Amino acid sequence: MGQKLLVVDDQIGIRLLLKEVLEKDGYETFEASNGQAALDMIQSEKPDLVLLDMKIPGMDGIEILREMRARSIPTEVFMMTAYGEMELMREAADLGASQQFSKPFDIDIVRQSVRRFFEEKAKL
């Protein structure tokens, strides 16, 4: 089975950058620009990992994460945010987001974290 991940961000530039870099690293990468598209993609593609932006118009990252957990979707989530909102980050962690990146993020740190995630998953 391939290593699949979903990038959820309303900013097309960030989605395209992450998709391009992560596909070069060998991951099957999907993208969504809003909450409903993200939830649909999670159901249909069953990614191993979701890179989820905190601030998305409409359904924000916390609401998407909450909905995933309400549907008993155990997919691993890494949060991305341009905001230093500690309360939201704490809530995301409580909902199971295992990693958080502040924008602008270092793409190499994101790549390392994704690679580490899949290496650990392969050991299970």
Q: What is the CATH number of domain 4-123?
A: 3.40.50.2300
pLDDT-derived band at 82 (thresholds 50, 70, 90) equals confident
Eight-state DSSP code of residue 8: E
Domain locations along the chain:
4-123
Eight-state DSSP code of residue 105: P
4-56 pLDDT, tens digit per residue, is: 999 999 999 999 999 999 999 999 999 999 999 999 999 999 999 999 999 89
Whole-angstrom CA distances from 104 to 14, 48, 84, 101, 109 are 10, 24, 12, 8, 11
- Which three-class secondary structure state does DSSP give residue 35? helix
* CA torsion through residues 122, 93, 15, 74, sign: positive
- Residue 105 vs residue 52, higher pLDDT: 52
Single out the residue of 36, 60, 62, 38 nearest to residue 50, CA to CA: 38
- Residue 107 vs residue 88, higher pLDDT: 107
